[in-house]
Amino acid sequence: MKRKILVTGGDGRFAKILKKQNKKLNLFFASKKDCDILNISSIKKIIKKVRPNILLHCAGLSRPMNLHETNIQKSIDLNIIGTANITKICKSNNIKLIYFSTGYVYEGKKGNYKESDSLKPINNYGLSKLGGECSVSMYKNSLILRITMTEKPFAHNKAFYNLKSNFMYHEDLVDILPKILNQTGILNIGGKAQSVYSFAKLSNRKVKKLKATKKDKLPLNQTMNLNKLNKIIIKK
């Protein structure tokens, strides 16, 4: 029998693609209405209803990025407190927890970051996701995914030419997920290391160049080492 997987943030951008593209996993999607991660009773209720073996924690706050600077209460609530609540419930029910984090937890200066490298986020978004990682890391039956992904085609008309990343599309992660469900610990997830502009041009030929400045508070070389991921995929 296929393991039941509960997906929080079921009405989010990635979850919509996962619902559409999935062909292998036994998924149950929980919207904010179904599962309020700031309400312990709400989380317990959906757990009791679905009885999942795995919880895929996608709920949280990502964009717009500046919201994490202007509304730290919302950032803390959704990405730190909400994740801690999910972790506690997973621990009490012995449910495998897979947490969607980000490459923004790295400092973003030297690039090629390994999962074991030191963490030093330079903006509040990275700090909020690292806060979530702290609680998940305390629960050993868990997997933290440091992901860099976006919509296809590239959604913006401008892209940073001086910011290097491992951007990939939501669809790419849908293909990878079945191969990593049994992993625990931390795993970098992404695509080819390149500038955001180079990546954007692949799906949006009209995209214009944009320079990231200090004011943007962005890690300019946030590329990750994907050796661990590649070894897992090759084995599968």
Residue 9 resides in a domain = yes
201 part of a folded domain? no
Read off the pTM.
0.96
Q: Which residues of the chain have pLDDT under 70?
A: 236
Q: In which order are the strands placed within the sheet that holds 4-8?
A: 26-30, 4-8, 54-57, 96-102, 142-147, 185-189
Residue 202 domain-assigned (yes or no): no
pLDDT, position 79: 98
For position 236, what pLDDT does the model report?
Answer: 63
Q: Residue 64: its pLDDT value, please?
A: 87
Structural domain contains residue 119: yes
Does a structural domain hold residue 28?
yes
Number of separate domains in the chain: 1
Tell me, yes or no, whether 186 lies in a domain: yes
CATH number of the domain residue 45 falls in: 3.40.50.720
Residue 213 resides in a domain: no
Residue 88 structural domain? 4-153+165-193+224-235
pLDDT, position 2: 87
User: Within a domain: residue 218?
Assistant: no
**Distance between terminal CA atoms of the chain?**
20
d(CA 115, CA 144): 10
